[in-house]
Chains A and B, each alone.
Chain A
């Protein structure tokens, strides 16, 4: 028993060391991306402006809805603003960390054989394919999301508690991992259907379209779909609820369980995908 506990302890320590190593690596990647983008600051400024235009248009759509109604599935306008603030932060992080230079490029990498280089590096290839080239402007354009969250909370008169904040962050982290796994799963299907460029975009379209919706909108089959199969509700909706009304412990436990399942599933899918890969040279 002591030996087993000791082994488990060693495993946990190894895991923590690995996570720390990859965090350091990612920080360096972001630093280099920032340095490259800041060299051409005009392009960076324009990129930021474009991201902000998209955010404004997104908010304008909800303004049009609230011009016609007082609530969406019981969520008032300021609750929705908190939700949209978290969603803005999520979407921009998703774009910057994973989508733009990474999963979207996977079909081209498979087709051109550039993937071979990624597979030969002494780093976990999933890490390289998912996080290898950050898109720095999105990290900056994620910041307005905090303003929206703050504004919504002030208007609602909500007093933040430590537990609420911790719960919200936990929902956000778990929900973000779920979204990343979902997008990656769709991208990995490219290994099996190599004559299409759009598979990565299907996962990201699901993420962008549904993470901004309050979870109370979904009932019946849609609840099964968006709570379990394509779990998009945890990152923004439950995270916002944790700030506004408090943590829903049932769904927090569910989010933990789903995150573990999705990590195992993505690893399995990756192993199947790489077996199917034959490289451009062959």
Chain B
């Protein structure tokens, strides 16, 4: 465990060097979210609510989604698939560490720095909502549960990308699959719009898929739309998906490593 904590610390230190980029990325995501909020403001003009969301709920949803986007982001698929493709995975194989756990440590180290900047901002945001007495269901318990699901959502996202990255043992490029996964996750994960806005049939299918745990479920807890009553059901399904990705990635990895020649290209 100590070696992985040391890795987290090292990658955290590397992330600090790129602080200008982190602020740039925050600004880029704010612009994207703002554009979406503007369109919903226009749409809401004649109506009070959609799918149980008022305009205030929708704006707060996107504000929270911004935090979750940073918290659950990972580039595991790019990182590992490049190492496999270039043949540099060999260095990892010689280390007394698991590739998966090393990659989790790397992603976590990089995320920690972003969260150090964002969490204080969001504390201010939530306090502002409280002191302005904006009508919401936000509570401290909801924020804690949302934070918990955000962390586990990050883990799920890493595992998902790790599973995809292993396809690099067989494919020249996995970036297309990774982009496809991103597009689907953004849509069915609730980043583009709350899942409650989708047609009921899509909502019902999506309830069993893993995408919602990356953005939507953490946001629902933070906004108080999911409560402790939903916890067991959500957590059970999430654990099933975690075990699924761990199992599939292990099977694929064991098959792939036999094929690996460290040639690079």
Instruction: Please report the C-alpha to C-alpha distance between residue A73 and residue B45 in the assembled complex, in whole angstroms.
Output: 9
Q: Is B42 an interface residue (CB 8 A)?
A: yes
Q: Which of these, B40, B179, B192, B193, contacts A50 with CB under 8 Å?
A: B179
A202 vs chain B, min Cβ distance (A): 6
Tell me whether A279 is interfacial, beta carbon within 8 Å.
Answer: no
> What's the Cα separation between A222 and B38 when bound, in Å?
10
Q: Does A57 lie within 8 Å of B20, measured CB to CB?
A: no
* In the assembled complex, B56 has its CB within 8 A of some CB on chain A: no
Given contacts A196-B21, A199-B24, contact A57 B31 (CB under 8 A): no
CA distance A201 to B20 in the complex (A): 13
Question: For this complex, into which size category does the number of interface residues on chain B fall?
Answer: 20 to 34
Contact B32 A209, beta carbon cutoff 8 Å: yes
**Could you mark each residue 1-23 of chain B with 1 if its beta carbon is under 8 Å from any beta carbon of chain A, else 0?**
00000000000000000001100
Q: Which A23-79 residues have C-beta < 8 A from chain B? A: 43, 46-47, 49-50, 53-54, 56-57, 60-61, 64-65, 67-69, 72-73
Q: Mark A179-205, 1 if CB is under 8 A from B, else 0.
A: 000000000000001011111011001
A213 at the interface (CB under 8 A from B): yes
Report B-chain residues with C-beta under 8 Å of the C-beta of A61.
187, 192-193
Residue numbers in B under 8 Å from A209 (CB-CB): 31-32, 34-35
B34-60 toward A: CB 8 Å interface, digit per residue (1/0)? 110011101100010011000000000
Q: How long is the Cα–Cα vector from A65 to B50 in the complex, in angstroms? A: 10
> A73 CA to B184 CA in the complex, in Å?
28
Tell which of B21, B42, B172 touches A73, judged by Cβ atoms closer than 8 Å: B42
Interface size on A, residues (CB 8 A): 33
The reply to whether A217 and B39 form a contact with Cβ atoms under 8 Å apart is yes
- B186 beta carbon closer than 8 Å to chain A: yes
Q: With contacts A57-B183, A69-B47 known, is A64 near B193, CB below 8 A? A: yes
Chain B, residue nearest A74 (CB)? B42
Distance in Å from the Cβ of B174 to the closest Cβ of chain A? 10
Q: Out of A46, A56, A64, which one reaches B173, CB within 8 Å?
A: A46
Task: Report the bound CA distance from A53 to B188 in whole Å.
Answer: 13
A65–B41 alpha-carbon span in the complex (Å):
12
B150-196 contacts to A, CB under 8 A, are 172-173, 175-176, 179-180, 183-184, 186-187, 192-193
User: Which of B172, B193, B198 has the most chain A CB atoms inside 10 A of its CB?
Assistant: B193
Restricting to A89-132, which residues have a CB under 8 Å from any CB of B?
none
Known: A53-B180, A217-B42. A202 touches B187 (CB 8 A): no
B24 touching A201, Cβ below 8 Å: yes
B183 pairs with A68, CB closer than 8 A = no
**B132-165 near A? 1/0 per residue, CB < 8 Å:** 0000000000000000000000000000000000
**B120 → A minimal CB distance (Å):** 21
In the bound complex, residues from chain A placing their C-beta under 8 Å from that of B51 are 68
Given A50-B180, A209-B32, A222-B38, A68 contacting B24 (CB threshold 8 A): no
A206 is an interface residue with CB less than 8 A from chain B: yes
Docked-complex contact A213 and B198, CB < 8 angstroms: no
A65-B39 contact, Cβ under 8 Å, with A46-B173, A198-B24: yes
Residue of A nearest to B187 (CB): A57
Given contacts A57-B183, A57-B187, A64 and B25 within 8 Å (CB-CB): no
In the complex the two chains form, is A196's CB within 8 Å of B20's CB?
Answer: yes
Which residue of A has the minimal Cβ distance to B20? A196
**Quick check: is B197 within 8 A (CB to CB) of the other chain?**
yes
B96 within 8 A of A: no
B172: chain A residues within 8 A (beta carbon): 43
B134 CB to closest chain A CB, in angstroms? 22
Q: 20 new A-B pairs (CB below 8 Å) besides A65-B39, A68-B43? A: A43-B172, A54-B183, A61-B187, A61-B193, A64-B197, A67-B197, A68-B197, A72-B42, A193-B20, A196-B21, A197-B21, A198-B27, A199-B24, A201-B24, A202-B31, A205-B28, A205-B32, A209-B31, A209-B35, A213-B39
User: 25 A–B contact pairs at CB < 8 A?
Assistant: A43-B172, A46-B176, A50-B176, A60-B187, A61-B187, A61-B192, A64-B192, A64-B198, A65-B40, A65-B43, A65-B193, A67-B197, A68-B43, A68-B197, A196-B24, A198-B20, A198-B21, A202-B27, A202-B28, A205-B28, A209-B31, A209-B34, A213-B38, A213-B39, A222-B38
Interface residues of B (CB under 8 A from A): 20-21, 24-25, 27-28, 31-32, 34-35, 38-40, 42-43, 47, 50-51, 172-173, 175-176, 179-180, 183-184, 186-187, 192-193, 197-199
- In the A-B complex, the 5 residue pairs with the smallest Cβ-Cβ separation, listed nearest first, are A198-B24, A209-B35, A196-B20, A46-B176, A68-B50
